[in-house]
Amino acid sequence: AQKITQTQPGMFVQEKEAVTLDCTYDTSDPSYGLFWYKQPSSGEMIFLIYQGSYDQQNATEGRYSLNFQKARKSANLVISASQLGDSAMYFCAMREGMKTSYDKVIFGPGTSLSVIP
Amino acid sequence: DVKVTQSSRYLVKRTGEKVFLECVQDMDHENMFWYRQDPGLGLRLIYFSYDVKMKEKGDIPEGYSVSREKKERFSLILESASTNQTSMYLCASSFPRGISGANVLTFGAGSRLTVL
């Protein structure tokens, strides 16, 4: 069963506008971590932002913020003031494994974001 | 400044061949991972390792094996390649959770494998 769902295969946003990329997850572990990665057309994977399950505040990193709603098991990425360089695939990921001694990181199917000039 | 190196960027193999994909990291990371990336499916975890000689199955281990004889090297092996293993393979590494709460993954550039 898929543990990370990204329901938006493709999104368009006007340059300078804000955009929200959806991510929902499923885990029974009380301790977990959530990540967002960006993959431009060049193929490299770029870490954007992290949220721990016990973090009290939503994570922010520059123009990126993570809208973490624990009860709903959602971790949406908000990109403010979109730029042309934001056009890329975006992946939501989860680290789980509190019950074990190691870390397992799984990814969602991704959302393709296109920024329109 | 390269931190995770995948030995082959592009490979073309024939059905039934044995294929080795090598990954080396120079950051002294304990965790190493192999994913395959396919359009519409995202990254799917094949195997991961949290220590030398230790390995754990991911979500799609069938048809693959791995080897980690040294901390810095994690190899993915396709014993008998099949056409449905044509994909992009990504290696990644990280510190364990205890060292860094975020334990961010550092990825290699990827190996695009085509099996004919």
Question: Contacts of residue B45 in chain A, CB cutoff 8 Å?
Answer: 104-107
Question: In this predicted model, what pLDDT tens digit does every residue of B34-54 receive, in sequence order?
Answer: 999 999 899 999 999 988 989
Residue A97 confidence (pLDDT): 62
Residue A31 confidence (pLDDT): 83
Question: Contacts of residue B90 in chain A, CB cutoff 8 Å?
Answer: 45
Q: What is the DSSP string of B45-91?
A: EEEEEEETTEEEE-S--TT-EEEEEETTEEEEEESS--GGG-EEEEE
Q: Is the pLDDT of residue A100 over 60?
A: no
Question: In this predicted model, what pLDDT tens digit does every residue of A33-88 receive, in sequence order?
Answer: 899 999 999 998 999 999 988 888 999 999 999 999 999 999 999 999 999 999 99
Q: Interface of chain A against chain B, CB under 8 Å?
A: 6, 9, 33, 35, 37, 43-45, 47, 50, 52, 91, 93, 95, 97, 101-110
User: B109 CA to chain A: closest CA distance, Å?
Assistant: 6
Say if B35 is an interface residue toward chain A (CB within 8 Å): yes
Beta-carbon contacts of residue B1 (< 8 Å; ≥ 6 apart): none
User: Residue written as tokens 């946003």?
Assistant: A13
Residue B1 confidence (pLDDT): 66
CA distance linking residue B103 with residue B94, whole number of Å: 6
Kindly state the tokens that stand for A76. 């949406």
CA distance linking residue B89 with residue B46, whole number of Å: 10
CA distance linking residue A102 with residue B48, whole number of Å: 9
User: B61 CA to chain A: closest CA distance, Å?
Assistant: 14
Residue B40 confidence (pLDDT): 87
CA distance linking residue A116 with residue B10, whole number of Å: 32
Residue B95 confidence (pLDDT): 79
Say if B95 is an interface residue toward chain A (CB within 8 Å): no
CA distance linking residue B34 with residue B46, whole number of Å: 6
Q: What is the mean pLDDT of chain B?
A: 92
Please state, for a pLDDT cut of 70, what percent of chain A lies above it: 93
Nearest to B67 by CA among B50, B81, B53, B85: B53
Q: Is the pLDDT of residue A14 over 80?
A: yes
Nearest to B101 by CA among A33, A29, A5: A33
Residue A90 confidence (pLDDT): 98
What type of residue sits at position B83? T
Q: Is the pLDDT of residue A93 over 80?
A: yes
Question: Contacts of residue A33 in chain B, CB cutoff 8 Å?
Answer: 97, 101-103
The more confident residue out of B116 and A102 is B116
* pLDDT band with cut points at 50, 70 and 90 for residue A102: low
Residue B102 confidence (pLDDT): 66
Q: Are strands B10-13 and B111-115 parallel, antiparallel or unpaired?
A: parallel
Residue A28 confidence (pLDDT): 86
- Is B57 in contact with B14 (CB distance < 8 Å)? no
- Is A38 in contact with A88 (CB distance < 8 Å)? yes
Closest chain A residue by Cα to residue B112: A43
Give chain B's residues under pLDDT 50.
99-100
Adjacent-strand bridge partners of B51: B54
Residue B98 confidence (pLDDT): 60
User: A117 CA to chain B: closest CA distance, Å?
Assistant: 26
